[in-house]
Amino acid sequence: MKTINAHGAHIPQLGFGTFRMPEKDVLAILPKALAQGFSHVDTAQIYDNEAAVGAAIQASGVARENIFLTTKVWVANYGKQTFAASVEESLRKLKTDHVDLLLLHWPNDAVPLEVQIAQLNAVRERGLTKNIGVSNFSTALMAEAVRLSAAPLATNQVEYHPYLDQMKVLEAAETYGMALTAYYAMADGKVPNDPVLKEIGAAHGKSAAQVALRWLIQQPDVVALTKTATEQRLAENLALFDFVLSADEMKRIHGLARPDGRIVSPDGLAPVWDLAA
């Protein structure tokens, strides 16, 4: 699978996400996902399934060095007294001595960003993570985080799908040499039934979901997270590399974006988002 090189972090372009996935589902499906070709696994402290992810990786028989593992520090753990300890706990649950990418999960005004970034750098220097980054950051926060960080930031993981224009974030990421990691690619179930995506898919013998994922990874330096609890969907989610969308098809999909396209914006966590270009 193609990887995105962001400051030396070689991130597999397609990742297996575990958001809202109970431990029993992780244990059942993740070993199969790894066996079928996924090598990038995404979890988080707040998902409450890191232990299952660690157990599933061990059960898969796939060597740890062949897996790109991402987790995220929850906002309640950003303080100096809790940050490193929370990462150490994550590693114990994940049954590994390091993750490949560690992210700040959401902005948190209660702790200065300078402190958050310093803690990220400190655990990286200890070898607890190979690479660091952020999630759900606006372009203004990205700029500040890049300025504050001694080590380069590899990615900003954000909501991104055909109904949400993220060109400003993409342009900022390009400026800083960062990848953009897209979550919620199916737009909470809207994508599979979209008539434009279905029409484009029919021309390629693909589903609307495959078209949306292909649209994401066909953009420069974009990583897409997929998610499924059913084995038959694994092969479908991986079958994105045998077709290419035309420039006109890409433009049509970009044209689906709308002002109210954002789905994930929790009170108390979400920053002031960038408006569409």
Question: Could you list the active site residues?
Answer: 47
Type of residue found at 75:
V
Distant-in-sequence, close-in-space partners of 89: CB < 8 Å, separation ≥ 6: none
105 is in an annotated binding site: yes
Question: Running DSSP on this structure, what letter comes out for residue 99?
Answer: B
Helical spans, DSSP H, in the chain: 23-36, 50-60, 83-94, 113-125, 139-148, 167-176, 195-204, 208-217, 231-238, 247-254
Helix (H, G, I), strand (E, B) or coil at 129: strand
- Collapse the DSSP code of 277 into the 3-class scheme (helix H, G, I; strand E, B; otherwise coil) and give the result: coil
Cβ neighbours around 244 below 10 Å, total: 10
Tokens of 163: 């109904």
Spatial CB neighbours of 147, under 8 Å, sequence gap ≥ 6 = none
Within its chain, how far is the Cα of 157 from the centroid? 5
Angle at alpha carbon of residue 153, lines to 57 and 92, rounded to 5°: 30
DSSP H helix total and E strand total for the chain: 10, 10
- Whole-number Cα distances in Å, 84 to 70, 103, 153, 169: 16, 13, 18, 28
Annotated binding site for substrate: 105
